[in-house]
Amino acid sequence: MNSTSFTSYQRLTLKGMDNQSLINLIRQASENFPDTTIIITPRIDQSGQAYYWTGLRYGNTELDFALLLNREIEAFILCFLIKGRDGMTDISSYSPDPTMTRGINWLQSHMYRHLEYSQQTQDYIRYSNGRTFQNKKLTFPFGSIIYSQEIENVFAAQPQ
């Protein structure tokens, strides 16, 4: 029998914190809890700003928050996913870059750039609140990136 361990996390959503405080929170959690992981969902807000919806898991806690992106923050997160606390890079600017998504399909570009570093990929369908999502999960040693896109549920369509 193959059993997997299950951890019940106390989930808290953080709002109103700036990028520097959130990055420092990741650093502090990983220093105090060697098994710290992150779950990233890349997104673009209505103004075109790239951000990560982030789940920071340490101990029995998961902190959820939005982390606005620039190239340095994006690199910091990738390095953390690959090497954990030993891979955290220095960041000189915590200001979000509103031009990251201009002129490209940023989500697709992001996936292709991160795919080569992942250990495993998994495609699956998820249903939530009557909506259907197609997901691709990239797994890393210290977390994962989940790309999610809403799709029409063709099986629920009723002929008129």
Q: Among all chains, which residue has been given the structure tokens 């951000």?
A: 51
Residue 21 lies in a domain: yes
Taking the C-alpha atoms of residue 21 and residue 158, their distance in angstroms, rounded to an integer, is 49
Is 160 a member of any domain?
no
Q: How many domains does the chain have?
A: 1
Of 10, 109, 29, nearest in space to 69 by CA:
109
5 inside domain = no
Residue 4 falls within a domain, yes or no? no
**Rounded alpha-carbon distances, angstroms, from residue 91 to 20, 74, 78, 141:** 9, 10, 13, 22
* One pLDDT digit (tens) per residue for the chain, 160 residues: 444 565 677 888 999 999 999 999 999 999 999 999 999 999 999 999 999 999 999 999 999 999 999 999 999 999 999 999 999 999 999 999 999 998 779 999 999 999 999 999 999 988 888 888 889 999 999 999 999 988 875 565 444 4
> Among 92, 75, 74, 80, which residue's Cα sits nearest to residue 29?
80
